[in-house]
Amino acid sequence: MNVFSGENIRNVVVLGHGGAGKTSLVEAILHKAGASDRFGKIADGTTVSDYDAEETKRKISVNLSMAPCVWHTPKIPDSKLNLIDTPGYFDFVGEAMGGIRVAESALIVINAKSGVKVGTENAWKYATDRGMARMIFINCMDDESADFDKIVSQIHDKFGASAAVFRIPIKEGKEMTGYVNIVSGKAYKVENDVETEIPIPENMKASFDKYHDALIEAVALTSDELLERYFAGDVITDEEMRAVLKGSVKQGQVVPVYGGYCTGKTFAVRSLMDAMLKYLPSPIEAETTDPSAPLSSVVFKTLADSYGKISLIRVYGGTLKADSTVYNVNRGENERIGKLYVLRGKKQIEVPELRAGDIGAATKLGVTLTGDTLAKQGAEELEGIEFPAPAITMAIVPQAKGDEEKISAGLSKLREEDPTFKVKNNKETKELTISGTGELHLDVITSKLKTKFGVGVELKAPKIAYRETIRKTVKVQGRHKKQSGGHGQFGDVWIEFSRHDGTELIFEEQIVGGAVPKNYFPAVEKGLQESIAKGVLAGYPVVGLKAVLVDGSYHPVDSSEMAFKVAAGIAYKDGLSQANPVLLEPIGHLEVTMPEELMGDIIGDINKRRGRILGMNPIGGGLGEVIAEVPEAEMVKYATDLRSMTRARGKFTFAFERYEEVPDAIAQKVIESAKA
């Protein structure tokens, strides 16, 4: 593949709901452009984009994938389309974030059979928040049930009048035989990929007029002058409209809508590619790139396996050359760039350099991670990638003993590839846990551990970090006396135990008359500090304990620090058993946003989880917010349950707040389980 300059590049991230046909559309584009010699199918696991073993097994996209191709139109020279195919399933939204970070434009794909879905809404929001130029492709128009006007109506209802139809499919039965160009006012019939101009069909003239008027209105809304004329009843000519369209699309003020399908006859795909070159901005036009500036680039994706890693790089300034040294601004270290590649799926195409605006890859970078800036030394750090916070945590259990090191090494490699999941070694519960965006996400991670690193694991609900404390004040004796020839062991303490509002152990002494010498006070405190690591109910750490050494006795020969340490432990066990010990559980602060009409369902579910509602607020846009406090034990799979209850429209945050007493019935089950 030739080296391309920024003005001849279009970086387009392909977004949409899962199952909209993004990967199939990308496959059709590659095939149409001659970048692929076969038309791969998802069902057969032969598409360029979905090459990972998990993707071919599950028949869904799991990873971001690059799909560059070269295309041209009569008026535009050879240009490079850097298509970034992204997963539509919510568990893999982090992959989409990487693509959105480095593209100037978004192609949002909608399935004509299912219409606008939650993933469509999210794609629109992501692209809008980034200020990206957008296009919409209504896919699967070859289905008999596909209703173009219905889908356009849904688009307008959700996204407003800026989404303007540019081309209407002409259908005969389920076949698309041509199209009407709203911008030019011309219709074409297509046979054997050859376009022939025809009159606009009589049965489509009303649709043409409707969408033409809507396009004029969308254009008028981009300019105060045009809007004033529009409301005054002046005619805005097609020439005036066309003169401002490209700029309006670039600014995101007008969003072109196309209809077609990506199987069988693919002329709709060809016209879509033409439109991407014509209307979507190059990196230079979008003003994200400066070829004359010093080198600056960002790594937006890392591919890792047992053999090494590949770093996907977007260049923003200057030129990145093979066999060069660059500076990692984030790590403060130099990196050696060996060979450079352009990736098309898993295929690596070697190139001598990547110019500003382009996307490629380097292998075997030492310290570089996703989100890092590679630049000339002294350059500023570029914007990184904001990934979603994990929503579900599970504990990992090895299937075979002795695999712990393999698991840790494999997870470390996978973390380089996927920063959206977290790994934690919980010293308290003695569990290794992983956190991700959903159950499917975690399932894919464990599957990759098996296929890439040869280690099998199972997932289970993580242990809850309970605590113990006491309800009442007691005064007890701890006496340790042992004689075994020679010096004996003697330590005797009276300690008053009570509860305080903090979490740490408070130790005080109120000894009168030297009943216990001062040099033994630290030993008593140490004995208590070691003891509170394990409570008397279920073995959980004890919090909120105050211990006052009030009396005791000693032997001038047999007493020692060890004897008083043991005596303190005896007093601890006896004292806590008598002080009405109770189990505490972690309580978290929960904030949920959801469609307002589902607020009652969410509140009901929170109540079932032993939660307390703190507030209910409308937050605009048809959304509501519920604020509550919920026991952590009830939140293990809340991400999955909320997604089901709200059809993926609900979001939540959950953070530890404090500990509270566990209800007796539940506490008894926890205690019995701990003793089992």
- CA–CA separation, 295 and 573 (whole Å): 66
Check whether residue 545 and residue 527 sit in a common domain: yes
Nearest to 4 by CA among 57, 78, 106: 78
Are 557 and 587 members of one domain? no
Three-class DSSP category at 444: helix
DSSP character at residue 559: B
Residue 83 identity: L
- Own/partner pairs, 652-657, CB within 8 angstroms, 24+ separation: 652/391, 652/590, 652/591, 652/592, 652/593, 653/389, 653/590, 653/591, 654/588, 654/589, 654/590, 654/591, 654/630, 655/588, 655/589, 656/586, 656/587, 656/588, 656/589, 656/632, 657/587, 657/588, 657/589, 657/629
**The two structure tokens encoding residue 53:** 């073993």
> How many domains would you assign to the chain?
5
Specify the higher pLDDT residue, 367 or 260: 367
Q: What is the mean pLDDT of residues 588-608?
A: 96
pLDDT band per the 50, 70, 90 thresholds, residue 571: very high
Indicate if 66 and 119 belong to the same structural domain: yes
Pair of tokens at residue 87? 């997963």
Domain identity same for 532 and 592: no
Strands 545-553 and 489-499: antiparallel
Q: Is the pLDDT of residue 568 over 90?
A: yes
Closest CA to 259 of 111, 79, 413: 111
> Could you tell me if residue 182 is inside a domain?
no
CB–CB of 421/459 below 8 Å? no
Enter the tokens of residue 174: 């389920």
Question: Of the candidates 579, 606, 639, which is a domain's last residue?
Answer: 579
Averaged pLDDT for residues 37-51: 91
Q: Residue 475 belongs to a domain with what CATH number?
A: 3.30.230.10
Q: Which of 514, 597, 599 is nearest to 552 (CA)?
A: 514
Spatial contact of 288 and 316, defined as CB atoms under 8 Å apart:
yes
Residue type, 474: V
Question: pLDDT confidence of 486, banded at 50, 70, 90?
Answer: low
The answer as to whether 202 is a domain residue is no
Pair of tokens at residue 185: 């006012």
Angle at alpha carbon of residue 466, lines to 461 and 472, rounded to 5°: 160
CATH of the domain at 47: 3.40.50.300
Let me know if residue 265 belongs to a domain.
Answer: yes
Residues 407 and 515 in one domain: no
Residues 407 and 309 in one domain: no
Residue 222, domain member (yes or no)? no
Q: Please report which helix (H) or strand (E) contains residue 630, including its range.
A: strand 623-631
Do 643 and 617 lie in a common domain?
yes
Average pLDDT over residues 424-440: 92
Instruction: Return the structure tokens found at 401.
Output: 């003993």
Give the predicted TM-score (pTM) of the model.
0.89
Within a domain: residue 588? yes
The answer to whether residues 575 and 588 belong to one domain is: no
Say if 204 falls within a structural domain: no
What is residue 73's predicted lDDT score, i.e. its pLDDT?
A: 82
In this structure, the answer to whether residues 341 and 453 fall within a common structural domain is: no
Q: How many CB atoms sit inside 10 A of residue 223's CB?
A: 17
Q: Do 544 and 646 share a structural domain? A: no
Range of the domain at 141: 6-168+252-279
* Same domain (yes/no): 270, 303: no
Mean of the per-residue pLDDT values of the chain:
93
The answer on pLDDT for 29 being more than 70 is yes
| Domain containing residue 404: CATH number | 3.30.70.870
Q: Where are any strands of DSSP class E within 154-215? A: 163-165, 167-172, 175-181, 186-191, 194-198
Give the end of a domain, one of 559, 579, 599: 579
Identify whether 412 is part of a domain: yes
Looking at per-residue confidence, does 329 or 37 come out higher?
A: 329
pLDDT surpassing 90 at residue 280: yes
Tokens (6 digits) for 646? 């709200």
End residue of a domain, out of 520, 544, 579: 579
* Nearest CA among 386, 387, 393, 385 for reference residue 438: 393
One domain for residues 74 and 154: yes
Q: Is residue 529 part of a domain?
A: yes
